[in-house]
Amino acid sequence: MRRVLIRDPIFLIGFVIFTSLLLLSIGNTIFRDGEVAQIMIRYSDEGKLIAVSPLKPSLDQWLGTDRAGNDLFQMMIEGFKWTVGICAVVAFGRMLIGLVVGIPLAFRSDRLNHYFKMVLEGFLILPISLVALMLLYPSFIYADSTMIPPLFKPVTIEILILVLLGLPAVTLYLITEVRQLLKQEFMIVAETLGGSVLHRVRLHMMPHLIPTLVIVFMQQFVQTLMLLIHLSLFGIFFGGTVIIFEGIMPALFEWSSMFGYYFKQFSSTTWMNNHLFLVPAIALAALVFLVNLLTSRVERAFRLRRQEDAVTEVSISQTEAASSSLAGPFTLVHMKGSIEHDKKDKSG
């Protein structure tokens, strides 16, 4: 799969863009202490006042500034690592717990799995953003900026909630995947030969499961991002919402919070023309598109690998050759060449 991906230009371009943004964002924190330039007023060369913030995009401020004068380009770069980090942690958490719960359950009887499915049925019709909103609403609204607790606590609780709410669907999916794998011939043979559960999982199942896990991870990444966007539109920003004189503002400026924040500021006026709304909107659309694109390329690579593993013309001819061969009918065809080669070497 890796070989296919390395030769795929679309995947490579997407990956390079994603990694560059991440490096820029981390670099901004390391080398500039995460600072964002503030420009409240723009003057002409003659010293005349041209505009006050929010400034429109220009050569000096590529994406313009917000009402507080923060350079939007720098804010987007600074916020990228938080958005990606949160989504990655949530997606990874869901997958990890899903695997820890799902794999042992998949090895159990049909009946137990049926009961488990029955219990989780309720979660499959549940709009997660609605429940997340209700869970977070009472604790994540701060009356003023002095009431914001250290970010570690709300962030940990929010991540935990986001992981747990998406967990049932991921666990059910992983159980189905593992049970499908358990029906494969190679797994039945491994069991017949006496391989322990741990051995079968580690040696036989994992190599087949990892590509699926990569795809699930990326899907969960996008789902988490969409959930964060939905919550921010409801006024629940990641890390908490501070009530200010003009309305509400996020405690932490990451992309989804910025989207909700600027959307709320301009939804009643000329928001469609305003760069403040459009910058995070287009950036988020591009991020979702990029991750979906990478997922589709990984899926493609996975599909191609599976096609390679499946019956090919060479393997058919090898099977036919093996069945018609009289000498050593139990020797694998592709082994024959090497055995004969070894014999020649020894006699030589």
Counting every residue, how long is the chain?
348
* Closest approach of other proteins to the CB of residue 251, in Å: 12
Binding status of residue 154 toward other proteins by CB under 8 A:
yes
Task: Decide: 4 and 304 in contact? Cβ < 8 Å.
Answer: yes
Options 39-47, 56-64, 121-129, 194-202: segment touching other proteins (CB under 8 A): 121-129
Q: How far apart are CA 81 and CA 204, in angstroms?
A: 35
What residues numbered 46-105 form the site for other proteins, per CB under 8 A? Answer: none
Distance, first Cα to last Cα, the chain: 40
* Closest approach of other proteins to the CB of residue 337, in Å: 32
Total residues at the site for other proteins (CB under 8 A)?
42
Options 21-29, 85-93, 280-288, 340-348: segment touching other proteins (CB under 8 A): 280-288
Binding status of residue 130 toward other proteins by CB under 8 A:
yes
* Closest approach of other proteins to the CB of residue 240, in Å: 9
C-alpha count within 13 angstroms, C-beta hemisphere, residue 74:
17
* Closest approach of other proteins to the CB of residue 60, in Å: 28
| CA geometry: angle 158, 236, 218, nearest 5 deg | 55
Binding status of residue 125 toward other proteins by CB under 8 A:
yes
Task: Decide: 51 and 42 in contact? Cβ < 8 Å.
Answer: yes
The string of DSSP codes covering 146-165 is GGPPPTHHHHHHHHHHHHHH
What residues numbered 163-192 form the site for other proteins, per CB under 8 A? Answer: 169
Q: How far apart are CA 59 and CA 171, in angstroms?
A: 49
* Closest approach of other proteins to the CB of residue 91, in Å: 16
Task: Decide: 275 and 72 in contact? Cβ < 8 Å.
Answer: yes
204-to-125, 171, 198, 307 alpha-carbon distances in Å? 34, 20, 10, 19
Nearer to other proteins, 70 or 256 (CB): 256
* Closest approach of other proteins to the CB of residue 273, in Å: 9
Single residue of 112, 131, 314, 321 touching other proteins by CB under 8 A: 131
Single residue of 2, 30, 47, 138 touching other proteins by CB under 8 A: 138
Single residue of 3, 289, 320, 331 touching other proteins by CB under 8 A: 289
The string of DSSP codes covering 27-56 is HHHHHHTT---B--EEE-TTS-EEEESSPP
Single residue of 72, 167, 214, 281 touching other proteins by CB under 8 A: 281
Q: Which residues lie below 8 Å from residue 222, measured CB to CB, with a gap of 6+?
A: 87, 288, 291, 292, 295
Binding status of residue 137 toward other proteins by CB under 8 A:
yes
Q: How far apart are CA 232 and CA 162, in angstroms?
A: 14
Binding status of residue 22 toward other proteins by CB under 8 A:
no
Binding status of residue 143 toward other proteins by CB under 8 A:
no
Nearer to other proteins, 107 or 263 (CB): 263
* Closest approach of other proteins to the CB of residue 329, in Å: 30
Q: How far apart are CA 187 and CA 176, in angstroms?
A: 15
Task: Decide: 170 and 98 in contact? Cβ < 8 Å.
Answer: yes
Binding status of residue 222 toward other proteins by CB under 8 A:
yes
| Interface mask toward other proteins for 226-255; x: CB under 8 A | xx-xx--xx---------------------
| Positions in the binding site for other proteins (CB under 8 A) | 118-131, 133-139, 149, 153-154, 157, 161, 169, 222, 226-227, 229-230, 233-234, 272, 281, 285, 288-289, 292-293, 296
